Structure formats: C-alpha cells, structure tokens
Amino acid sequence: METTQLPTVPLGATGLPITRVGFGAWAIGGGDWEFGWGPQQDQASVDAIHRALELGVNWIDTAAAYGFGHSESVVGRALQGLERRPYVFTKCSLLNDGSGHVVHSLKRDSILREAEASVKRLGVDAIDLYQIHWPNPEADVEEGWAAMAELKEQGVVRHIGVSNFNVEQIRRAQAIAPVETLQPPYSLIEREVEAEILPAALKDDIGVIVYSPMGSGMLTGAMTRERVEAMPDNDWRKSDDWFTEPRLTRNLALADRLRAVGERHGMSAGAVAVAWTLLNPAVSGAITGFRRPDQVDPIIDAVWLKLTEDDLAEIAADADA
C-alpha cells in the first residue's frame, strides 16, 4: 500500500509519533448495541480504513465496546496483510449485559480477560495503547488502573491511558502508575474540558487524543434537520441532546459558519471543526470517524489547515447568544 506522509507529533510522554488525525472506529461497530450508529457495511469500513492509511494516517482508535467486539474484528480484518501496520489503540471496561446494553467493570480479572480478547480480535502481538473507557464504577478506579499497569508490565500492551476521566480521577490513577494518555470529548459544541482537564494534561505531559471533534457528525457540514429525522432508531444520535431542539438549530447554524470558513480555504466544514480542536496546545491528535472511503479525504485535510484570526472570529460568532 503506497502511503503519503502526514506531519506527526509525540503523544505525550509515550513518545509515539502520531499523525494529528487518527481513524476513529466507533461508528463501524454497527447498530446492534446501545450506542450504535445504525446499519454499517463491513467492507465499506475496511475500505475507509485503507483509504485513511493510504493518506498517511498512522493510528486507529477503537474499543471492545463498539459493537461488543465487532469494531475490533473489522479493524483486525483491515490490518491483515499490511506490510506496515498503524498504531492500534483500544479500550476496556464496557461489557455487554446480554441484551446489547452496556455495563461497567473495572475489576482486575475482567480487564485482563478483555485485553486478551482484544489482542485476538485485532490480530496484533501487543496493543499499542490500552485505555480505560470510563471511570465507572468510580470506587474501582484504583483496581482497574493497577490491572492496566500489570498488562503493561507483562507486555500485553505497550502504553496505558484513560478516557473520560476528570482531574481528580487522573490523580488517583497516577498514584499507582503514570497516566500516559487521556481521551476526552472535545469539539466546538462540547468544550467543558478546556477549564481544568486539558490544562492539567498539558502540565503533566499527558498525551491527549480528543474524540468527537466533529460533534459526532453534527459539524461535518453534511448534517441537516431532514437527515436527523431520517436516522434509524438504532442510531444513538437520533435522541441525543446535540441532535434535538433547542440545540439542533444552534448547532446547524455553527456548521453553516464552519462551511463558510472552509469554502475560503477550499476545505470542508468537518476539516475546519477538526483543525479548531488541534489549535489547543494540550491536544496531540483528533479522532476522526469514517464509515466510507469517500468520507476520508475531506477531513484529513484538517492537518494542513491554518485557521486565521478572522476565521476564528467567524466561527465564534453568536457563541454566547
């Protein structure tokens, strides 16, 4: 597979040189679970992964929870036969209750079993970055993090990190073993982490990869009120606050502003949304989700986009309305 070159930055203290955007594999888990994205064709997922790798993306972020193993299996299929594989990041702690709904576990034995299963599904010798998906149950954070450190010591995983943790929870984990990375939600419509979490990560040299930089599709420029209404019932977004009133109207107006900024640069609204997250000095990379190969090129452009002060002012217009 011929690949182009994209700029890389170190992922915090891990030293992993990652591209500023990575392939997010949440949506390719399909719709048959609590937070699914509706029907998905696996071959389209594989083709999307291959297109991202051709363009130079060098990491994939998935999770055992995405389709309860389905996303990891599809990623493993896409990696087969590659001469040089990308870094593979995945997560643990969300389990299937038997009916497609999520239950949380941070028990040591559960995490060790999940890691073994993920390695098999992905077809890798070791997981490059293993992350606790959610800090639930909170009382078990220490037990869960000790298990993560154990996996790293055993060589089952190369680096360990957390997702959706607050500063206090990160500190509790750090008392056991270094927290190497953090994966929080971050976008123009979800900015809560700017206040404390991102500054703390920057101070401690914790590598940050943000998820949903395009607001789970809201800020791609392709979302419309009609498209939201037509979403299948097994797409979690259909009833989410971002996609329903009163936020829907405001979010679509923001997407329109991103589209206008993108047109000046010859780029997509989604690329503008992703590039905006990369301006934060704490952020090493952004996780960008794709379901088809044709969706990849317009978003990968974000790594080259230099937003101006005028661009930022236009994006921020009516932000406090």
| Per-residue pLDDT reduced to its tens digit, 189-223 | 989 999 999 999 999 999 999 999 988 778 887 77
The pLDDT score that the predictor gives to residue 318 is: 66
pLDDT greater than 60 at residue 159: yes
Give 35's Cβ-side CA count (13 Å radius). Answer: 16
| Per-residue pLDDT reduced to its tens digit, 219-247 | 887 777 767 777 777 776 766 776 778 88
pLDDT greater than 60 at residue 2: no
Instruction: For residues 32-52, give the mean pLDDT.
Output: 89
Among residues 253, 184, 246, 250, which one has the least CA distance to residue 213? Answer: 184
Rg (CA), the chain: 19
Choose the catalytic residue: 66, 87, 186, 211.
66
The pLDDT score that the predictor gives to residue 321 is: 41
3-state secondary structure of 309: helix
Instruction: For residues 242-257, give the mean pLDDT.
Output: 82
Q: What is the DSSP letter of 57?
A: -
pLDDT greater than 80 at residue 141: yes
Higher pLDDT: 11 or 5? It is 11
Catalytic: 66? yes
Tell me the DSSP string of 142-202.
HHHHHHHHHHHHHTSBS-EEEES--HHHHHHHHTTS---EEE-B-BTTB-GGGTTHHHHHH
Confidence of residue 40 (pLDDT cuts 50, 70, 90): confident
The CA–CA distances, whole Å, from 130 to 64, 88, 135, 193 equal 11, 9, 14, 21
**pLDDT above 70 covers what percent of the chain?**
95
Query: Are 227 and 221 contacting, i.e. CB atoms less than 8 angstroms apart?
Result: no
Q: 122-136: buried (b, 16+ CB within 10 Å) or exposed (e) per residue?
A: bbbebbbbbbbbbbb
Among residues 210, 184, 270, 256, which one has the least CA distance to residue 248? Answer: 256
| Per-residue pLDDT reduced to its tens digit, 75-130 | 999 999 999 999 999 999 999 999 889 999 999 999 999 999 999 999 999 999 99
Vertex 117 angle, CA 208 and 183, to 5°? 10
